[in-house]
Structure 1
Amino acid sequence: MKREMTRSLMFAASTVGVALLVAAAVLLVRTRACAAEMSDSQDVATISAVVAVTAEPDQVRSAVARTRAGREGRIAVHLASGGTIGSGKAARAEVSVAAAGGPVPASWRVLPGRAVVELSEPASIVDTWVLPELVVLALMGFLATVVAVVAGRRRCAPLVQDLCSLADTARDGRIRVRATGSGELADLVAALNEAADRVERARAGEREMIADVSHRLRTPLTALRLDVEALGDGVLARRIRGAVAALDRDVDRIIESLQPAEPRLVPCDLGAVVRARMGFWAQLAADQHRWCDVNVPDRPMSVEIAADVLGAAVDTVLDNVFQHTPSGTPLAVEVSAHAGWITLVVDDGGPGVSAPAEAVLRRSSGGGSTGLGLAIARAAAETTGGSLHVERGRLNGARVRMRFGEAGRTWRGSEPRAWRLWQGAR
């Protein structure tokens, strides 16, 4: 903000300074031109007055020497007797025509029967004082620009301070910003407060909706748990019991998350979480005759996110593959770490994603689902400063790339320059 304000002030002050400097330079040149023209007119008038009194060559030569034009060799007196005093450029024929009453330049003076005073060229407006005066004007313009920028920064400092205070206050979602300052700033504060109220109402409605859905799941979930107990101790029965238990835990977690709480930044090992979750998904892939490749390094890869939240994000991405691709579709999961980032890549050999940019938005899925899956995974990645992108993978299907900021490392928070988005059909 301060840098942009300084640049704006410098641009405005420089524009005004250059405009004033050009105007002053033009005025200086015009003043010099008028002074030079007046000086030439006075010199011609002085010599003409002397010639009108006497045509003595010595006296005329003395008068020419006393004038500026004479000292600079720009004036000549053509006597009627045939002599020329001073320096002139006119030919004898031109002088004869002028003496006979013919047309003459405006800078000449004809004294009939006595002489013709010739001003060969006008005085120069550029002298030893013009350049120093222009330099002084440039220095004054530069100093005026500096003073304008400094004064403008001091004048705008209270506004910048108010904006910084506004930003610091607005970062805390539990309080509202006080409407202080100028009229425009007060309008901005009021708009922020209205936006915060709308967000809070939306969050409250979402919590109520989730609470209603979660409580509605309790009854069928309890009945399902009772029915599972009658299946015995076979492999299928144990698998169903595990799924029911996981669903029960998820419902408990949803209900618990409805209560406002500070976000937990408990680091966990991303590789360990992925390996643990792939123990379940790899078995499910085998049941559906899917080729499943898992490449997770053994070294610790810590991210500042709770393990259950990370596990839920991984499950949503993998569940998206199983839900939207037919049985037998290959699957690959890979984890890599580089430059302070840990990247989880999930590839499949399915038909791909028709709208990759919209697939990661909440309730924007085009595949007949609720659209919450990838949005939840994206939110989990963004809590660490990362991101989620959908692109074309090495299995010619969809690739979901989740990027997490590594705990305890410095990383650049900018988005990748470009991501390949593939238009398929899911």
Structure 2
Amino acid sequence: MRRRFVLVALAVGALVTLAWAVPLAAVAYHSTRTQVLFQAERDADALAQYAQTTTDPAELRKALAAVPAERQSRLGLTLPNGTTIGGGRHASEEDFLRARVNHGAITVSTPKGTSYLTAADGVVIEGYVPSATLTHEMRTAWGLPALLGLVLLVIACFVASWMARGAVRASEELAFAARRLGAGDTHVRVVPGGPPEIATAGAAFNEMAERLRILLANERELLADLSHRLRTPLTALRLNAEALPPGLERDRVLDAARQTEHELSSIIEEAREPLHDVEPARCDIAAVAADRTKYWAVLAADQHRAWRGKGLTGQVPVAVGRADAASALDTVLGNVFQHTPPGTAYQVSVLAGEDRVRLVVDDAGPGIGTPDEAMLRGVSGGESTGLGLDIARRVAESTGGALTVGPSPLGGTRITLAFRR
């Protein structure tokens, strides 16, 4: 913004400078040229008056010597017999003859300057002004206006920069606050200042930030309340499971209830924590996939589902937290169990690339007729909420990756979660 202020001031200053500098330069050119030529004419006329009293070469040389040294070389006297005294001849022979015959003064242009010719008793006096002398005098005359114009432009730029300081500072503070708000600091505010437009924008930013803080706080509190309400049916489920006869079925239900209770507690704690910046989390996606497939294997055995894992060994780090990665994979596997009939096989694969890691879940179910609709938040072809794949997609995109849905080599659906390494 400051640069634009300076550029505008520079443009306006340049136009104003041109408006007075060009006419002033023209006047200076005409005045300087007239002054230089007038000096040459005056010197030549003075010698012509002296030549009317004597044509003796010695006396004429003395008269020429009385002229200041810097102008002597530009004066020349041509006697009737053709003898030249002084700076030589620059005008043509025709011009000399015309001046001698007419006994008058003429001004003529020469290849390298301007000559003023006047005659007295057959003696022709030439006052010569070289073009180089005129050019030098012009540069001297134009130097002051040019310097003055340059000084005015510098002053205009300095004043514009100083005047823009308030607007620039207010804009920078507003931009800094916007970046902090985008990073999660909902308590950031600005002091409205600068030009009225920027001050209005600052006040609007403060209102928006306060409204956003309230909305986020209400949303997180609502999430915590909803999660807390789920504890009651989970507690009843756990108590009912504890009443079952000892055995594998009882242990499986209890483990599932305890894990769900633990996840709900984590959600409540996270929702009630104030928003703050955190360092990007990382995890071993192969280890997460191995752990979650082991968890789902119990239910797969109950439903007689064949499954296999591929690439679930070794360390494959990705730029996502372990909890988020596990939640995304649980969501996709939960869809397999919910939307395919019992006995449907599935496969979980971890495919590592140079900058991306793909977590692929294939099933042999009936497939998804409209993959694009399955990606829409809140849209479901079954009785679910339609939020599962959207949650998994946001986890993948938070790392710079993506979620894609397509046909599977097993005959059903392939869901691919791509994570940045």
Q: Which residue of 1 aligns with 2:209?
A: 196
Q: Which residue of 2 aligns with 1:333?
A: 350
Residue 95 (structure 1) shift: 3.0
- Report matched runs for 1:354-373 at 5 Å: 363=377, 370=386, 373=389
Q: Which residue of 1 aligns with 2:272?
A: 259
Tell me the alpha carbon deviations over residues 319-377 of structure 1, each in whole angstroms, 9 at most, x when there is no partner. 67888999667653246898xxxx65324679999779x96xx9498999745645566
Tell me the alpha carbon deviations over residues 63-89 of structure 1, each in whole angstroms, 9 at most, x when there is no partner. 55636775555x544556644443333
Tell me the alpha carbon deviations over residues 176-203 of structure 1, each in whole angstroms, 9 at most, x when there is no partner. 6364644556434422222123323433
Q: Which residue of 2 aligns with 1:293?
A: 310
Matched, 1:279 2:294: yes
Q: Which residue of 1 aligns with 2:118?
A: 111
- How many residue pairs get aligned? The number is 383
Q: Cα 1:172–1:156, aligned 2, differ >3 Å: closer, same or farther?
A: same
Residue 42 (structure 1) shift: 0.7
Asked if structure 2 preserves the Cα contact closer than 8 Å seen for 1:52 and 1:111, the reply is: no
Q: Which residue of 1 aligns with 2:47?
A: 50
Asked if structure 1 preserves the Cα contact closer than 8 Å seen for 2:170 and 2:198, the reply is: no
Q: Which residue of 2 aligns with 1:87?
A: 88
**Equivalents in 2 of 1:63, 1:355: separation in Å?**
108
Residue 51 (structure 1) shift: 0.8
Matched, 1:163 2:180: no
Paired letter, 2:212: V
Matched, 1:126 2:136: yes
Residue 43 (structure 1) shift: 1.7
Residue 276 (structure 1) shift: 1.8
DSSP 3-state at the match of 2:38: helix
When structure 1 is superposed on structure 2, of 36-45 and 216-225 the one drifting more is: 216-225
DSSP 3-state at the match of 2:135: coil
Paired letter, 1:177: R
Paired letter, 2:88: S
Q: Cα 1:91–1:202, aligned 2, differ >3 Å: closer, same or farther?
A: same
Q: Cα 1:124–1:220, aligned 2, differ >3 Å: closer, same or farther?
A: same
Query: How large is the Cα RMSD of the aligned pairs?
Result: 6.3
Q: Cα 1:256–1:92, aligned 2, differ >3 Å: closer, same or farther?
A: closer
When structure 1 is superposed on structure 2, of 116-125 and 214-223 the one drifting more is: 214-223
Asked if structure 1 preserves the Cα contact closer than 8 Å seen for 2:37 and 2:129, the reply is: no
Q: Which residue of 2 aligns with 1:416?
A: none
When structure 1 is superposed on structure 2, of 176-185 and 346-355 the one drifting more is: 346-355
Q: Cα 1:240–1:87, aligned 2, differ >3 Å: closer, same or farther?
A: farther
Q: Cα 1:54–1:195, aligned 2, differ >3 Å: closer, same or farther?
A: same
**Equivalents in 2 of 1:177, 1:348: separation in Å?**
46
Q: TM-score under structure 1 normalisation?
A: 0.57
Asked if structure 1 preserves the Cα contact closer than 8 Å seen for 2:396 and 2:418, the reply is: no
Tell me the alpha carbon deviations over residues 9-42 of structure 1, each in whole angstroms, 9 at most, x when there is no partner. 8878988999999999987898578435512321
Asked if structure 2 preserves the Cα contact closer than 8 Å seen for 1:391 and 1:400, the reply is: yes
Q: Cα 1:213–1:373, aligned 2, differ >3 Å: closer, same or farther?
A: farther
DSSP 3-state at the match of 2:207: helix
Paired letter, 1:90: A
- Report matched runs for 1:287-326 at 5 Å: 292-298=309-315, 307-316=322-331
- Report matched runs for 1:397-412 at 5 Å: 399-403=416-420
**Equivalents in 2 of 1:124, 1:203: separation in Å?**
79
Residue 125 (structure 1) shift: 2.8
Match of 1:177 among 189, 194, 202: 189
Asked if structure 2 preserves the Cα contact closer than 8 Å seen for 1:317 and 1:374, the reply is: no
Q: Cα 1:16–1:143, aligned 2, differ >3 Å: closer, same or farther?
A: closer
**Equivalents in 2 of 1:71, 1:372: separation in Å?**
103
**Equivalents in 1 of 2:73, 2:338: separation in Å?**
100
Q: Cα 1:366–1:219, aligned 2, differ >3 Å: closer, same or farther?
A: closer
Q: Which residue of 2 aligns with 1:206?
A: 219
Paired letter, 1:346: L
Tell me the alpha carbon deviations over residues 257-281 of structure 1, each in whole angstroms, 9 at most, x when there is no partner. 5434566969987224443224346
Asked if structure 2 preserves the Cα contact closer than 8 Å seen for 1:265 and 1:304, the reply is: no
Give the share of equivalent positions with the same residue, in percent.
Answer: 26
Asked if structure 1 preserves the Cα contact closer than 8 Å seen for 2:361 and 2:416, the reply is: yes
**Equivalents in 1 of 2:46, 2:280: separation in Å?**
104
Paired letter, 2:290: R
Asked if structure 2 preserves the Cα contact closer than 8 Å seen for 1:64 and 1:70, the reply is: no
Residue 47 (structure 1) shift: 1.2
When structure 1 is superposed on structure 2, of 57-66 and 225-234 the one drifting more is: 225-234
Paired letter, 1:111: T
Asked if structure 2 preserves the Cα contact closer than 8 Å seen for 1:392 and 1:398, the reply is: yes
Tell me the alpha carbon deviations over residues 153-197 of structure 1, each in whole angstroms, 9 at most, x when there is no partner. 996599479939984996884646364644556434422222123
Q: Cα 1:268–1:89, aligned 2, differ >3 Å: closer, same or farther?
A: closer
Matched, 1:270 2:283: yes
DSSP 3-state at the match of 1:88: coil
**Equivalents in 2 of 1:119, 1:40: separation in Å?**
8
Tell me the alpha carbon deviations over residues 113-163 of structure 1, each in whole angstroms, 9 at most, x when there is no partner. 643635363324338x96xx79x959x969968x949x8499659947993
> Which structure 1 residue ranges, 5 or more long, are not aligned?
405-426
